[in-house]
Amino acid sequence: MVKRFTRLSPRILVTFAALAALVAGGLFAVTARNSFASPKPGASRSSNVSSFAAKSGSIKVKGTVVIANLGKLSAKPAAGQKTPRVIKLGARPSSSHATATTAGHVPSVSSNGVSKGTVLANFDGVNEIQNNNASATPLEPPDEGLGAGGGYVGNFVNVTGAFYTPGGATAAGPFALSSFFLESPTVNLSDPRIYYDSKTHTWFANLFEYAFPTATFAGESHEDLAVNTGNPVTGTWTIYTIDSTDAATPNCPCFPDYTINGVDQNNYYLSGNEFSLVNGAFNGAEIWAISKSELEAGVAASFAYFNQLSIGGAPAYHVQPAITYGSPSAEYFMNSLDPNNTFDNRLGVWALTNGKSVTTGIGVPSLTSTIISSEAYAMPLNAPTPPGFNTFFGVATSGVVTADFDAMQEVEYINGHLDGALNTSVNIPGDTGARDGVAWFQVTPKLAYGGISPTTKVSHQGYVSLSGEYMLYPHINEVPDGGMAMTFGLGSPSTYLSAAYATKSAGASNFGVVHIAAGGTGPDNGFTMTPGFGGVGRWGDYSNGEIDYSHNTVWLATQYIPNAGDIFANWGNRIFEVQL
């Protein structure tokens, strides 16, 4: 069945027909350099600071690709492949969302109200019809990758990508990400990300591939990383591959679920959640810090690797690296805790210092973490929306979709603090029951003795909610003058799944009313809502966004229902630019 699994189960891409892996060969070696010497994993520097050891290596160029040629490389469906795939989420210890157990701990918040709102640009990104045509892989959920800058907006959604002009005209694509990352069209791919670095005029994009063990094959996974420096997006990209199988760690071969990206002046960061390809065991978060200048030069790139990360006595999960603006003395990360999938009021804050050593080889990078107090958050609920009908199976769909865990979503460092947000169950006075809202945080990190300081604390925080409605998969950004924008999906029994957002001025204490960027046009007809897949639809795993630093605007993207779709599903993505 397809729903939120326990953290002991992998989030994997499988075919509907057999729910079995498609195995593809092709390993790319990691060339080891000197091992970094640092304290043992989890070793305490103080009563509330832990440090972790790094390994090192380098990744080699896999090849190059020209987007203008991708039409000649489009995926061709293999025999029997034209069946829908679903990404299962490697979750945390309990498979259920919030229940009566957490009812007394759900934060009570006020409703933000709603408005139609206006934006500078507002257009559709990749949808299921385009995805199916380009990749021959109908799927759910539509994990969102968005990058903006250099005169383009990039939208990478699971296994299909496209580039647009800022006005919404298609500049390239849609094209199969298997072709873009020089993979076979039949391999398992997941969690694409894309980012434009305005400092160096460089595009970065990444996703991961995996293959399950068989009687004659050990199983493997690897990260693919694409880099384009100074070229038109339709021009040449350099493709790198880094082995993520981690065969030497217990329970592996493994794969890096939910890989997220981050960047600072020194490195490009990948952070995943390591799950076993053999038994689904969860080994904790893992982080790669990869030399940014070497990637931009198109040469073999050095990296530092941290794995089996833990915090608060449990494996660390969703350790989100920051998209960093400026040149701070560390790359920062944040994660929520809640190891029992109930409720919590703590955040993990991490610092990677001496990041330039990844490139220079002088000294070693250091990764430290601390735990700070925050406002309360609780596991969100599944969200009821209007039921529909799936043509492929010829049955009604439930209308119920999954919200996120109360796990930290993408993080940004700007103006001296970290911005992050997560889904939480909330109680709104006068409402008929608990809803899904958003908890947001601004954290001011501090350093001490070469690592994160236990005096780090939350500087601002709050909730965003709407009476009678469910908010899904938030993403938050801040611009240089301190204004903030947040996007999320919005739905309820009387609201088709829509793309929404809210903004906060620099001097305001909280976000204002909820704006609808694009209203859903009908019910969700996705195949994961059918009884054979558990009746609970997979709705994204994240939204996304990027600031346009020069114009003080934010580009945002989230899922919604734009059309009737194809016989498998009808998800789409809305891209819009918000002026703050």
580 residues of the chain, pLDDT tens digit each: 222 333 333 344 333 332 333 223 322 222 223 333 333 444 444 558 888 988 999 999 999 999 988 865 444 444 444 677 765 544 443 334 444 334 456 787 777 866 555 689 999 999 999 999 999 999 999 889 999 999 999 999 989 999 999 999 999 999 999 999 999 998 999 999 999 999 999 999 999 999 999 999 999 999 999 999 988 999 999 999 999 999 999 999 999 999 999 999 999 999 999 999 999 999 999 999 999 999 999 999 999 999 999 999 999 999 999 999 999 999 999 999 999 999 999 999 999 999 999 999 999 999 999 999 999 999 999 999 999 999 999 999 999 999 989 999 999 999 999 999 999 999 999 999 999 999 999 999 999 999 999 999 999 999 999 999 999 999 999 999 999 999 999 999 999 999 999 999 998 999 999 999 999 999 999 999 999 999 999 998 899 999 998 788 999 999 999 999 999 999 999 999 999 8
- Neighbour tally for 234: CB within 10 Å: 17
β strands within 337-448, DSSP E: 343-353, 366-378, 383-384, 388-390, 395-397, 400-401, 411-414, 417-426, 435-444, 447-448
**Token pair of 36 as six digits:** 């970094």
Residue 24: predicted pLDDT: 32
Residue ranges per structural domain of the chain: 13-579
Residue 570, amino acid: N
Q: Please give the Cα distance from 571 to 138 (Å, whole number).
A: 11
pTM for this predicted structure: 0.89
Q: In whole angstroms, what is the distance from residue 424 CA to residue 454 CA?
A: 26
Which residue, 307, 416, 294, 253, is CA-closest to 36?
307
* 3-state SS class at 324: strand
Q: What residues form DSSP beta bridges with 272?
A: 286
Question: In Å, how far are 117, 203, 299, 300, 442 from 62, measured between CA atoms?
Answer: 45, 17, 11, 10, 39
Answer whether 238's CB lies under 8 Å from 224's CB: no
Task: Go through 74-86 and write b for each residue having 16 or more CB atoms within 10 A of its CB, e for each that does not.
Answer: bbeeeeebeebbb
**Dist CA 289 CA 298 (whole Å):** 16
Among the listed residues 29, 262, 257, 225, the one whose alpha carbon sits nearest the alpha carbon of residue 143: 257
Q: How many angstroms separate the CA atoms of 277 and 9, rounded?
A: 9
Please answer whether residues 138 and 82 qualify as being in contact, where contact means their C-beta atoms are separated by less than 8 angstroms: yes
CA atoms in the 13 A half-sphere facing the CB of 190? 29
Q: Is 119 left (phi over 0), alpha (psi -120 to 50) or beta?
A: beta
Backbone phi and psi for residue 265, each to the nearest 5 degrees, phi listed first: -70, -15
When the candidates are 2.120.10, 2.30.30, 1.20.1260, 3.40.50, the CATH number that belongs to 13-579 is 2.120.10
Please give the pLDDT value at position 580: 87
Q: Where are the beta strands (DSSP E) in 119-187?
A: 121-124, 139-140, 144-149, 152-157, 160-164, 170-176
CA distance 546 to 271: 18
Alpha carbon distance 224, 221 (integer Å) = 10
Residue 16: per-residue pLDDT:
36
Q: CA 256 to CA 271: how far, in whole Å?
A: 8
Query: Which residue has 């909280």 as its token pair?
Result: 510
In sequence order, the 6+-apart residues with CB closer than 8 A to the CB of 327 are: 264, 265
For residue 254, the number of C-alpha atoms closer than 13 Å in the C-beta half-sphere is: 28
- Cis ω before 141 (30° cut-off from 0): yes
Asked whether 262 and 323 are in contact (CB, 8 A), the reply is yes
Burial class (CB in 10 A: 0-12, 13-18, 19+), 396: middle
The whole-angstrom distance between residue 221's C-alpha and the CA centroid of its chain comes to 18
| Letter string b/e over residues 362-371, b meaning 16 or more CB atoms within 10 A of that residue's CB | eebbbbbbbb
